[in-house]
Amino acid sequence: MTNKIRKAVFPAAGLGTRFLPATKASPKEMLPLVDKPLIQVSVEEAVASGIESILIVTGREKAPIENHFDISFELEQLLKERKKDELFDMVRGISEITRISYTRQKQALGLGHAILQASDFTPNEAFAVLLADDVVDSEVPAMKQLIDVYEKYGDPVVATMQVEGPAISRFGVIDAEEVEPNVFRVRDMVEKPAFEEAPSDLAIIGRYILTPDIFPAIENTKKGAGGEIQITDAMRDLLEERPLYAVKLEGTRHDAGDKLGFLIATVEFALKRDDLGNEFREYLRSLDLS
């Protein structure tokens, strides 16, 4: 088995109920961070981390995602005619970003079930999983941080971040031992524990490196929290057979699938933009926030 992570899976078939009505007829992965859809932000992260081939697991609303990564013939023609070379290059570049294929999760039965749809895409090699609504703003691309750990240890890796206080109850939480700075060997993991019972302050977020033995583990996983097939449960089963590592990510994570998280991510990304940052900062300063 090659030790290189070449493939990535993007589960994008969730119903996005936290973002209704925007997600009624369009995927939340197409919500823009300023002007770039969330899914493009994370596809770029994957490519910057060395990924060569991507499978997007879509649901009933797949068309906008597929169209976004396809050639946009009329638009390109028009941009060419109007000599908008920069915009043309940008639009064309999106369709050439990397190899992308699609499969459909017919029912939103949970993240574990969505990942199971990738079993034909990557039957024999370890692969990356990225959830586009978890945006990680970091110096080293988040997925690269996981790949570095995988290449060293050769076992599955989950991304975590520190969460202070009762907010930890919204996450899967690891019980783990630090084996080198910011790298942990996982002893156990619990989905959404009560604050008092959380085994640590390290919450699992939407980046994983998984190995193909996860597929039978998912098949054997019963419906868990919310009646969904949870990836945490399948990984927990696998823990009995092989080591699992966690990396505490360097960077800031935003939950862009949540309205407040999305607003915060939007403001932070806008402030960093060369073309918008200064004016936007002035506008924010001018607000009477009392």
Instruction: Please give the size of the binding site for ligand UTP, defined by CB under 6 A.
Output: 21
- How many CB atoms within 10 Å of residue 118? 24
Q: Considering the complex, state which of residue 61 and residue 246 has its C-beta at the smaller distance from ligand UTP.
A: 61
Interface with ligand UTP, residue 22, by CB under 6 A: no
Q: Considering the complex, state which of residue 114 and residue 238 has its C-beta at the smaller distance from ligand UTP.
A: 114
Those residues with Cβ within 8 angstroms of residue 208's Cβ, 6 or more apart along the chain or in another chain: 128, 129, 146, 156, 157, 158, 159, 231
Cα 36 from Cα 41, distance rounded (Å): 7
Interface with ligand UTP, residue 45, by CB under 6 A: no
Stretch that binds ligand UTP, among 36-44, 75-83, 125-133, 149-157 (CB under 6 A): 125-133
Is the sign of the CA dihedral 155, 159, 162, 168 positive or negative? negative
Stretch that binds ligand UTP, among 37-45, 105-113, 212-220, 238-246 (CB under 6 A): 105-113
Cα 128 from Cα 114, distance rounded (Å): 14
Interface with ligand UTP, residue 16, by CB under 6 A: yes
Q: Considering the complex, state which of residue 76 and residue 191 has its C-beta at the smaller distance from ligand UTP.
A: 191
Beta bridge partners of 247: 159, 183
3-state secondary structure of 109: coil
Binding marks (x or -) toward ligand UTP, 61..100, rule CB under 6 A?
----------------------------------------
Cα 150 from Cα 141, distance rounded (Å): 15
| Binding positions for ligand UTP, rule: CB under 6 A | 11-19, 57, 105, 108-111, 113-114, 131-133, 257
